[in-house]
Amino acid sequence: MKSIASEDTCSTRTAHITGLKSKALQVNLEETDQAVTIDPKYLPLVEVVETLPGLVQQTEGLLCELNHPFKNWTYIIQEMRNYALRNFSVYNEQPKGCQVIEIILNEWLNALRSSSDQSVHTMALDNIVYYVEKIVVDGRTHLKESMPVLSRVFEDLAKLPQEFFFLLSSGYYQVKRIGEAAAQLRRPVKMVCLRYQRISPRAST
């Protein structure tokens, strides 16, 4: 099966209009419809599911939105979460699994840096915390390969502005759960957990 190529273009109108629950989002996508070029860095997302036609179609829609010049971060975060969790057992067993994990986590970090919407920040942070815990717990057979990626993510989290740690303190998922599950990551995890504990009375409960 031919995967979407780096020089290919796609239309956001045809990429993911089908199945959208939000009419407002569908209208917005139609109004901003344009051809977009797929950045090669995203190709592992579709390459790891290329033997599953249904997943290929869904993933190509996500790639179109990821490469749109006007990113809809709410949509991207939600769809990236769906991709990350539903397909975990598929890509985690493949050689490019770590690349996929890095792409997913990087996009959520990009949402924190690029969006001014606090609801986007909250969703992105919750997803990062939950996903890292899933990698550590459910992906333990390949944890050694994932550790460099996770370490970089925690280093990035530790550098975030203070206001993001206040959001973490009120988030659904608690950072300390990662610290408990991923003690082998040591310093990067501890840096984040220590900053979190300094500002959140909930962290020690």
Tens of pLDDT, residue by residue over 5-52, are 444 556 544 344 334 344 544 555 555 556 678 899 999 999 999 988
Q: Kindly state the average pLDDT of the residues 137-161.
A: 82
Average pLDDT score, the chain: 75
Alpha-carbon distances of 185 from 69, 146, 177, 180, 188, rounded to whole Å? 36, 10, 13, 10, 7
Q: Kindly state the average pLDDT of the residues 83-101.
A: 94
The 3-state DSSP class for residue 16 equals coil
Burial (CB count <10 Å: 0-12, 13-18, 19+), residue 182: buried
Percent of all residues in the chain with a pLDDT value above 90, rounded to a whole number: 29
Question: For 98-143, how does the pLDDT look when each residue is reduced to its tens digit (9 = 90+)?
Answer: 999 999 999 999 999 899 998 999 899 889 988 988 888 887 788 7
The CA distance from 109 to 115, in Å, is 10
